[in-house]
Amino acid sequence: MEDILRAFIVGGAICLIGQLIMDLTPFSITPSHILVGFVVGGAVLSALGLYQPLIDIGGTGATIPLSGFGHSLAQGAISGAENRGILGVIGGGIEATAVGVGAAIIFGYLMAVIFHPQG
């Protein structure tokens, strides 16, 4: 139960930061800006070694938001660069995130087939 609470708090805090940025900035920041910012922020924090401690504390609360996707991209690119050089940077990021992206496509398609969305 403690793990669930920590995941809820960390994931909620990440989402709260995005909402506060949209609500409190004087210029127009759209959800798209927030999404890109979270991916880039997760990658930068990962490269600096600061995102893994957040995952250690919050578990899935830190890996499921888009900042966790940025972290996965960065870790894949770092691993790819170490193993295969400069070409591994691109391939490593793709390999590290391919399962999650593939699952999102498959499950999205299945839900569209099952529930027949109108649009």
- Range 103-112 average pLDDT: 92
For the chain, how many structural domains are there in total? 1
For 6-59, the pLDDT digits (tens) are 999 999 999 999 999 999 988 888 889 999 999 999 999 999 999 999 999 999
Domain of residue 47: give its range: 2-115
CA-to-CA separations, 46 to 88, 90, 104, in angstroms, rounded: 17, 16, 23
- Compute the half-sphere exposure of residue 61: CA atoms within 13 Å on the CB side of its CA: 20
